[in-house]
Amino acid sequence: MVNDLILPVPVLIINHLGITPELRLKNILNSLGYPQELLMQSSSIENAKNMITEHLPNLIFYNVQSSSDLNFIHLIKQTHPSGYLVTLHQAEHTQLIFDAIQMGSNAYLLNETPLESSLKQLKTILRGGAVMHTLFADFLLLHKFNGESPTASDHHLYPPKYQILQLISQEYTVEQIAQQLKLSAYQVDSLIKAIFRKLFSR
């Protein structure tokens, strides 16, 4: 059991598309210390609505595969604003990831990420950080922060955040970024989370 994490409970896994890696996700959550009885699941949006209203889950996983899935994010955040929402995506769906964050997703994971990496990434999220993959960093640099320089003001991104985006796009790991920028890994994770908050407020 992992003792250095605060585990938000209960957990709701919404598998309305029938493609969420539910068993793998439950195994990851169990290994983090979540008891099975606090892991709820729903196979439909309608049932998920009722469960959110009744149980107020503090950690919610929701798979976003098309733009039609985005509206439910708004409903989740409207019904339970303090619930922590992690959306699940395909790596190449960068526009959908961006849209989900703008709608209120607190963090995201990739469906195809290997088990050990998913475990590590979820630990980062539960510690208050966020994770970002190379394709999404590329997308942000090209479409959302295009033309900004490391001296950009906070109206855009503070220099360390912009540098982190550049390094992620070059496939640097968090540890390599921390070494390059003379930061701790925790600071890097927190700055990635700050980029997400910036996207939500844009």
Tell me: the pLDDT tens digits for 186-199?
999 999 999 999 99
Give yes or no: residues 182 and 113 share one domain. no
Same domain, 63 and 108: yes
Identify the domain boundary among 78, 110, 128: 128
pTM of the model: 0.92
pLDDT of residue 61: 97
Q: What CATH number has the domain bearing residue 41?
A: 3.40.50.2300
Has residue 5 been placed in a domain?
no
- Which of 67, 100, 128 delimits the end of a domain? 128
State the first-to-last Cα distance of the chain, in angstroms, to the nearest integer. 39
**Confidence tier at 151 by pLDDT (50, 70, 90):** very low
Per the CB < 8 A criterion, the answer to whether 202 and 144 are in contact is: yes
Domain that holds residue 165: 135-201
Which pLDDT tens digit goes with each residue over 131-150?
999 999 999 999 988 755 44
Residues 78, 163 within the same domain = no
* Total number of domains constituting the chain: 2
**For all residues of the chain together, what is the average pLDDT?**
91
How high is the pLDDT of residue 87?
A: 97
